[in-house]
Every structure is written in structure tokens, then in C-alpha cells.
Amino acid sequence: MANGNSSTASKKMAKVIVAEKRDNGSYGFRQKIIPLDDVEEELEAAKERT
């Protein structure tokens, strides 16, 4: 019976969706699933691309 202490650690993940405006005025969307600890870094990288 499982007691919550499994041998495989479950890591919290976050789904990040980034909208990018295209030259023709429409928007494109990209999504990633990343470790929760990496969210801040991913947001900074997205800001640099805009």
C-alpha cells in the first residue's frame, strides 16, 4: 500500500503559454511544460525575445 513516499519523486511542473504578434497582425502561441523552479528564468527569456 502506498504511503506517499514513492521511490520516484514527483516534480511540480508549470505550463507556460507565450503569445507572439506576427507581422500580419495575428498572434501565434507557443506552449511549454517546464519545472516549476524554472518559471522565472523562462519569463525573463520570453521578455528578452520581445
pLDDT digits (tens, 9 = 90+) for 1-50: 455 555 456 789 999 998 889 999 999 999 999 999 999 998 898 888 76
Cell of 19: 503569445
Scanning 1-50, the segments in alpha helix (DSSP H) are 39-49
pLDDT for residue 7: 46
Q: What is the pTM of this model?
A: 0.59
- Tell me the residue type at 13: M
Output the pLDDT for position 10: 78
Cell numbers found for residue 25: 497582425
pLDDT at residue number 9: 62
